[in-house]
Amino acid sequence: MPLKLPKIIGHRGCAGYAPENTLEGIHTAADMGIEWVELDVKITKDEIPIIFHDDTLDRTTNGSGNIADKTLEEIRELECGSWYGESFSGLQVPTLEEVIDVLLERNLGLNLEIKPCPGREKETAEVALDLLSTIWDDHDRLLISSFQHVSLETAADIAEDWHRGLLLPEKWPENWEDLVKYLQISTINVNAATVTREQVEDIMDLEKPILAYTVNEPDQARLLQSWGIDGFFSDTPDVLKEGIFVVH
């Protein structure tokens, strides 16, 4: 099945308007009419998949320390909203299962980025996708992405028929084309701030959709679109939506 990719995907939910990777962020994106969101999954010490970006708790919760050292119960005692704004205080880090319930309820597509803590590349993919496979059956509205080749390889082993996205960092691995073929990649996701027109043209030779992260300015989106980029991850998807599709 081909992926039904929209032009704009809410980044970490809707990170310009609500704390990243929270249920509130997902609802905010849905309320704006955004069709897909991108979220990050990690696993706790007791191997529960949670939606969280960093390896440590410090930036977005009132706790500290490594995610990999904390059980779900310990993480549930923290809140992850007040760093963003007082009106969001008291929010909890959601589990993958809770997030899927909301996505299904709001009829949203999902780009799930496997964001493992160091050394947990295989386990994070296994645990997350095992759960996902019991609940999610809309294959053309699901993209599993990662910077970690081991995680994508594991995803291919567990759920071969799900679409996979290869995230390319600022400095591309020399064997990126081999990885695209070996991992049977559906989309190539590039850093909007550093990607060059030449690099975009190299990807276009492979005839794969190209998504760029993170784009919040309509001017940048239009430029990248003119190079051949197909879609964008955005913290402010409404601004981008208006800027790309409305001709003033």
Give Cα separations from 228 to 36, 186, 234 (angstroms): 21, 16, 17
- Say whether pTM exceeds 0.85: yes
Give Cα separations from 36 to 20, 26, 27, 28, 246 (angstroms): 15, 9, 11, 12, 20
| pLDDT at residue 241, rounded to an integer | 87
- pLDDT per residue of the chain (248 residues) written in tens, 0 to 9: 678 899 999 999 999 999 999 999 999 999 999 999 999 999 999 999 999 999 999 999 999 999 999 999 999 999 999 999 999 999 999 999 999 999 999 999 999 999 999 999 999 999 999 999 999 988 899 999 999 999 999 999 999 999 999 999 999 999 999 999 999 999 999 999 999 999 999 999 999 999 999 999 999 999 999 999 999 999 999 999 888 765 43
Query: Does residue 89 contact residue 82 with C-beta atoms inside 8 Å?
Result: yes
| pLDDT at residue 243, rounded to an integer | 81
| pLDDT at residue 247, rounded to an integer | 43
Its CATH class, for the domain covering 8-53+95-245, is: alpha beta
Residue-range domain boundaries for the chain: 8-53+95-245
| pLDDT at residue 244, rounded to an integer | 76
Query: Could you tell me the sign of the dihedral formed by the alpha carbons of 195, 198, 202, 204, in that order?
Result: positive
| pLDDT at residue 242, rounded to an integer | 87
> Chain-centre distance of CA 19, in angstroms?
14
Amino acid occupying residue 141: R
Amino acid occupying residue 102: V
Cα-Cα-Cα-Cα dihedral of 191, 193, 194, 197, to 10°? 90
Q: Give the residue numbers annotated as catalytic, written as ranges.
A: 11, 53
| pLDDT at residue 2, rounded to an integer | 75
